[in-house]
Amino acid sequence: MMTDVVPYTFRQDADYSYITGCQQPGGVAVLGRDWGLCMFMPEAKPHDVLWQGQIAGVDAALESFKADKAFPMSKLREVLPEMIRQSSKLFHNGYTATSAYTNLEAYQRAAYGGKVKDLSIYTHELRWKKSPAELKLMRESASIACQALLQTMMHSKMYPHEGILSAKIEYECRIRGAQRMAFNPVVGGGSNGSVIHYSRNDRKIKDQDLVLMDIGCELHGYVSDLTRTWPPSGSFSSAQEELYDLILQTNKKSMELCGPGTTIREIHKYSVDMLLKGFKEIGLLKNGGTNSLRYDQLNPTSIGHYLSMDVHDCSTISYDRVLEPGVVITIEPGVYIPDDFDGPDRYRGTGIRIEDEVLITETGYEVLTGSMPKEVKHIEALLNNYSRGGVEGLFNDARVVSS
């Protein structure tokens, strides 16, 4: 609850959503070899219907979610213990465990006997490689994010304010059909871009500063994740361009390594070597730059992560797992230089990340976010030639919003 009886928007657990298709809270789903999918569904009291509307019950479980069996939650204490007793092995979702079943004597006996294990090693295995239907949603989700970010980039010249760009990206994603953002967008102007998961998004962006936007949306349970960094003024300074070019080249070279047979860890190692070399060449790392602590201050993140229903997806699958066709990963090199970094003045207070989504294919890779520009000349041309017009003038008052 946000407060008292006022709810936050509910987001279904990805494993529950994958197995049942049901987006509603308050149920329990049990998969068993002998009974198939059995769903225990919440029952709405008249008071709940009055305040929260109709909910999906037993009929919906059978008809919409194609459960083999369905019961109201009030029957769980009767039905589930016998199912538990009949099972030689039990797996449950540790993240969403609820006292509705963990308090049952049969469950507790099984747990004390070491019979209960976590389900995620199996569900993550299933979810890791995408089916054609899932890939269709991933492509569409990425396409919406790209179109929305392009509109937001063009808006930024006239409205260089983190809050306005945050509102704009959500609007552009949702009018294209996304149900919600995949995470709170990162909209960091200047040194705020050096905070990896910056979330305040409430500052005006200074004239010569870059803005870093890390955004993604969710389409029917499948998310996108995309980052671009650009100067809302329309021109990169020479120091900004120098750093940007290093991150861009690392993004492109790391992407070229993607394909069946490699691993996220190998791509990560390659990107660290490339960035280390680049940081030394431009004087960001001194004394040969061998101090890995100093490198980690400039870039503490992995080159990427798995992506699909969750942003950091399938967390039980190691980054040493050999990539296979149908897996989607991100490639997101970056550099994060706070205002007080002990290094050349011209780079201080700069955060740059360029993130794309990459689908591993039989023969190599496909960039799902390839339609979003990232070359300096393309970004500058867009901002300087196409960022005015339309209905933008209607919102001129928004420019007075100050930091």
Distance, in Å, from the CA atom of 177 to the CA atom of 148, rounded to the nearest integer, reads 11
Choose between 277 and 312: whose C-beta lies nearer to ligand GLY. Answer: 312
Distance in Å, CB of 142 to ligand GLY, minimum: 13
In DSSP terms, 189 is beta-bridged to 211
CB 219 within 8 A of CB 141: yes
Choose between 29 and 223: whose C-beta lies nearer to ligand GLY. Answer: 223
Choose between 233 and 330: whose C-beta lies nearer to ligand GLY. Answer: 330
Query: Rule CB under 6 A: is residue 218 a binding residue for ligand GLY?
Result: no
Q: What is the biggest distance separating any 2 CA atoms in the chain, rounded to whole angstroms?
A: 71
One of 140, 225, 310, 380 touching Mn ion (CB under 5 A): 225
Distance in Å, CB of 256 to ligand GLY, minimum: 21
Q: Map the footprint of ligand GLY across residues 299-338, applying CB under 6 A.
A: 311
Query: Rule CB under 6 A: is residue 225 a binding residue for ligand GLY?
Result: yes
CA distances to 3, 115, 154 from 105, rounded to whole Å, are 33, 14, 60
Distance in Å, CB of 363 to Mn ion, minimum: 25
Distance in Å, CB of 271 to Mn ion, minimum: 14
Distance in Å, CB of 330 to Mn ion, minimum: 4
CB 309 within 8 A of CB 222: yes
- Judged by CB under 6 A, the number of residues near ligand GLY is 4
Q: Which does 336 bind (CB under 5 to 8 A by kind): ligand GLY, Mn ion, none?
A: none
Distance, in Å, from the CA atom of 360 to the CA atom of 324, rounded to the nearest integer, reads 6
Bridge pairing between strands 226-230 and 211-215: antiparallel
Q: Map the footprint of Mn ion across residues 22-61, applying CB under 5 A.
A: none
- Sign, Cα dihedral of 41, 47, 48, 54: positive
Query: Rule CB under 6 A: is residue 214 a binding residue for ligand GLY?
Result: yes
Q: Map the footprint of ligand GLY across residues 154-183, applying CB under 6 A.
A: 183
In this chain, which stretch among 96-104, 140-148, 327-335, 389-397 interacts with Mn ion, using CB under 5 A? Answer: 327-335
Structure tokens, 167: 């509102």
Q: Residue 101, SS3?
A: helix
Angle between helices 132-156 and 376-385 (to 10 degrees): 60
One of 152, 308, 330, 387 touching Mn ion (CB under 5 A): 330
CA distances to 138, 172, 334 from 307, rounded to whole Å, are 9, 22, 18
Query: Rule CB under 5 A: is residue 310 a binding residue for Mn ion?
Result: no
In this chain, which stretch among 158-166, 194-202, 290-298, 323-331 interacts with Mn ion, using CB under 5 A? Answer: 323-331
Angle between helices 105-112 and 76-86 (to 10 degrees): 30
Distance in Å, CB of 319 to ligand GLY, minimum: 14
Instruction: Bin 53: left if φ > 0, else alpha if -120 < ψ < 50, else beta.
Output: left
Choose between 172 and 214: whose C-beta lies nearer to ligand GLY. Answer: 214
Which positions touch Mn ion (CB under 5 A)?
A: 225, 330
Which positions touch ligand GLY (CB under 6 A)?
A: 183, 214, 225, 311
